[in-house]
Amino acid sequence: MPSDLLERRPDILAAEQELIAANAEIGVAKAAYFPSISLTGILGFASGSLSNLFSSGSKVWQYAGAVGMPIFTAGGLAGQLLVSEAQQQQALLRYQQAIQNAFREVDDALVAQDRARVQLAAQRQQVDSLKQYAGTARLRYDNGYTSYLEVVDSERSLFNAQLAYTKTQQTQLQSMVILYKAMGGGWMTKPEVAAEAKPEAVSEAEAGVEEKK
């Protein structure tokens, strides 16, 4: 699962539009701030590359944070919107924060899925074992080797295990939905989001260009 899928997220698209409004070179910003990694490993679990982004020794964000004004091209050309250096830096900071937040949300969702998978496997084994036990208890009762209390206890234990398994399944499904949203899925297409997220600064700039024509 490539990390560039996160570029579809509405918050990142909105931050991109803000950078464009600040006359920033978005391609340079992406190269500096957007880690190109695999989000999942071979088995679908969170990849080591993704988890390492948020480790204490990670230098990915430190490197990105060192990128400064060279990516900007404000001024010089007729009709171009002039904005202050402070506005440009704020737009760049919000873009970086949006990307970091996106990667963290995906990492959290993948970790939740991993935990649910492991828990489901263990609970599935427990349910299977309790089914066998309940069946054996029923046979023992039918043949007069035990009281009905053992049957009731075994079936109650089986029911509780099945209930826990079902709840974990729900948790896994919820984490899948969260992951889907974190990846930018289920939203509008990129052009639609870009149009809706268009900052007022861009509209004002375009209006100014029209007036000068």
Region of 44 on the Ramachandran plot (φ > 0 left; ψ -120 to 50 alpha; else beta): left
Confidence category of residue 38, pLDDT binned at 50, 70, 90: low
Q: Is the pLDDT of residue 117 over 70?
A: yes
Note whether residue 53 is domain-resident: no
| Number of separate domains in the chain | 1
Distance (Å, whole) CA 161 – CA 155: 10
- What is the arithmetic mean of pLDDT over 176-184? 86
Find the CATH number of the domain harbouring 143: 1.20.1600.10
Which one is predicted more confidently, 44 or 32? Answer: 32
Which positions ≥6 away from 158 have C-beta within 8 Å? 127, 130, 131, 133, 134
At 190 the pLDDT is: 45
- What is the arithmetic mean of pLDDT over 138-159? 95
Contact assessment for residue 165 and residue 120, using Cβ atoms and an 8 Å cutoff = yes
Note whether residue 210 is domain-resident: no
- What is the arithmetic mean of pLDDT over 151-174? 95
Give the pTM.
Answer: 0.58
Note whether residue 149 is domain-resident: yes
- For residue 152, the enclosing domain spans 2-33+74-183
